[in-house]
Structure 1
Amino acid sequence: MTMARLDATGGWIIAPDPQAAGLTRAVIGHDQTGAEVALSVVEERPLTIYLNSREIVTAMTIGDYPEYLALGFLKNQGMLGTADEVTGVDYDEEVEAVVVRTKVETSHEAKLAKKTRTSGCAVGTVFGDMMEGLEGLTLPAAEARTSWLYALSHQINRTPSLYLEAGAIHGTVLCQQDQPLVYMEDVGRHNAVDKIAGWMFSTGTPAADKILYTTGRLTSEMVIKTALMGIPVLASRSGFTAWGVEIARQVGLTLIGRMKGARFVCLAGEERLVRDADPAQVPEEGRSSRRKGAS
């Protein structure tokens, strides 16, 4: 997968590489007229995540950045805290497993016993109480300029990606002001955001001045994970669920959806918005700039 470091003028730290080996395969089919067509189809494979000697979960994933996915999953499930010292993250490609090792072993029987299937594609799973960690949470009093949102949407929607190449996938992008930094994709939006969380955890990247952009729906799971990561702004091209909005209002997260061209809707955290761009000056999205829908 392509990794591009920030240069003096800014740029991607991690960007998608839709041509990378192993992410897609060519499949022959026939269209509505009976004509033969070749499609690029996203691969899907299992990845088993271990915390020390304990098997935690097997996730279906496209297979890139398995170490970040494992770290982010454990972090977002509350199984790795800021005080936990990670001594190793080992990926075995042959057995399709990642082992995350900590200096002091921990026990998570109570969390593992309670599972919630989320509305995330590829069936996300949250262990323990979904709302755990949100009580008393205070997100940073950052600002979100509309000029940043328009610039981010324009650049992200035109960046080469599996989302554009093959569809059937979700993307999540970590941004700072008007600059997208890290772009992760996967068959489930929960995996994509976990990869972001894992990258932030492993690099010690602060969250207070970040914006999280997702191509997927703004569900309760997305809101909870974003809030627990400490990111104050979550934006998407897609729509909302009522519980997602309710939780965002509860924790003070700025929630922005239906971002297309000059249009968007903010259903929580309106106080962070700084309207410094004239929507009339923002070009509408043309057919050629629209991204493929992700199922």
Structure 2
Amino acid sequence: MKEFSITPDPKAAALSEVLDGIDQNGQSVSLPVVVEKPLTLFLNGQEIVTMMTIGDYPDYLALGYLLNQNMLRSDDQVTGIDFDDDLGVVVVRTDRETDFEDKLKKKTQTSGCAQGTVFGDVMEKFEGISLDPDATLKTSWIYGLSRKINQQPSLYLEAGAIHGCVLCEEDRPLIYMEDVGRHNAIDKIAGYMWRHGLSSVGKIFYTTGRLTSEMVIKTAQMQIPIVISRSGFTAWGVELARQVNMTLIGRAKGKRFVCLSGAERLIFDIDPASVPEESSKHQRKAAQ
């Protein structure tokens, strides 16, 4: 695949709106603000969840969510995806009959900034995951990915208050998704990979958000062994990454990064002193 086969469109009218206010000096300001709206997901005839989302790629979001909740199997035949923007509803239809009434009774509200939800037996499936032990990560790829992604036009840079997730291969960013919750952005990527038959072999996952338990679980279920984040870690996220031998890189900004899991995959092929510091523009946006 070429670099950035899918990229954010920060100018898309439906994803943000310009609002007026005043700044700290009492001066009038106008700035873009990210839009969020509810999207209710149905699997066949059963209501599954209502998600807060920016509203783009509802088909990929729906598929990825169902896959990461183990409600959609890799061998399932999806017979249709119906989306009604006015009603805020997306319906995924399969040729297999589904009933997740018992599973929906057991749910965990995650630490996602838009309050993601994990249902049922996700942790039971997680315990059986084994990630590719032969995957490697050159440090030059970390710096290259950070530079390319941070310079790509996005809502993240334009308006803040949003997270970006990027599927990568070596130092090439491939699929860049955004949403108000990082769990939504990763689900969009999972849905895209499933629908287009894109293999996880050799892939790297990059995110602007925190490396929480939910992010580790979902990435591991996607069979991606390496995760890079601009942000920090949670202790449980690191514990789970170590459990499945995932390489977890956090605080990747400028020439700096920290690895708390899977360091044996790292290949130090570049001197950090040769890497330029990040521009102040990207530093300001990253703090929002």
Calculate the TM-score normalised by the size of structure 2: 0.97
Aligned amino acid, residue 74 of structure 2: T
- In the alignment, is the contact (CA less than 8 A) between 1:163 and 1:294 conserved in 2? no
Aligned amino acid, residue 62 of structure 1: I
Aligned amino acid, residue 71 of structure 1: L
In 1, the alpha carbon distance for the partners of 2:27 and 2:167 equals 41
Could you tell me which of 37, 44, 51 is aligned with 1:45? 37
Q: Provide closer, same or farther for how the CA distance between residues 46 and 129 of structure 1 changes in structure 2, counting only shifts above 3 A.
A: same
Aligned amino acid, residue 153 of structure 1: S
Residue equivalent to 1:11: 3
Q: What does residue range 125-274 of structure 1 map to in structure 2 within 5 Å?
A: 125-140=117-132, 141-274=134-267
Aligned-pair CA distance for 1:129: 3.5
- In the alignment, is the contact (CA less than 8 A) between 2:70 and 2:122 conserved in 1? no
- Structure 1's unaligned 5+ residue stretches are 1-5
In 2, the alpha carbon distance for the partners of 1:287 and 1:34 equals 24
- In the alignment, is the contact (CA less than 8 A) between 2:203 and 2:224 conserved in 1? yes
- Structure 2's unaligned 5+ residue stretches are none
Aligned-pair CA distance for 1:203: 0.5
Q: Deviations over 1:115-135 (max 9, x none)?
A: 100000111111113412112
In 2, the alpha carbon distance for the partners of 1:53 and 1:63 equals 22
- In the alignment, is the contact (CA less than 8 A) between 1:112 and 1:127 conserved in 2? yes
Tell me the secondary structure at the aligned position of residue 290 of structure 1: helix
In 2, the alpha carbon distance for the partners of 1:180 and 1:31 equals 36
In 1, the alpha carbon distance for the partners of 2:125 and 2:234 equals 21
In 2, the alpha carbon distance for the partners of 1:14 and 1:294 equals 25
Aligned amino acid, residue 173 of structure 1: V
- In the alignment, is the contact (CA less than 8 A) between 1:163 and 1:291 conserved in 2? no
Tell me the secondary structure at the aligned position of residue 79 of structure 2: strand
Tell me the secondary structure at the aligned position of residue 62 of structure 2: helix
List 4+ stretches of structure 1 deviating above 4 A: none
In 1, the alpha carbon distance for the partners of 2:228 and 2:202 equals 14
- In the alignment, is the contact (CA less than 8 A) between 1:212 and 1:231 conserved in 2? yes
Aligned-pair CA distance for 1:294: 6.2
Tell me the secondary structure at the aligned position of residue 245 of structure 1: helix
In 1, the alpha carbon distance for the partners of 2:127 and 2:16 equals 41
**Structure 1 vs Structure 2: percent identity of aligned residues?**
64
Tell me the secondary structure at the aligned position of residue 286 of structure 2: coil
In 2, the alpha carbon distance for the partners of 1:294 and 1:133 equals 34
Tell me the secondary structure at the aligned position of residue 285 of structure 2: coil
In 1, the alpha carbon distance for the partners of 2:262 and 2:3 equals 28
In 2, the alpha carbon distance for the partners of 1:165 and 1:289 equals 10
- In the alignment, is the contact (CA less than 8 A) between 1:146 and 1:273 conserved in 2? yes
In 1, the alpha carbon distance for the partners of 2:287 and 2:79 equals 37
Worse-superposed segment, 280-289 or 150-159: 280-289
Aligned-pair CA distance for 1:289: 3.8
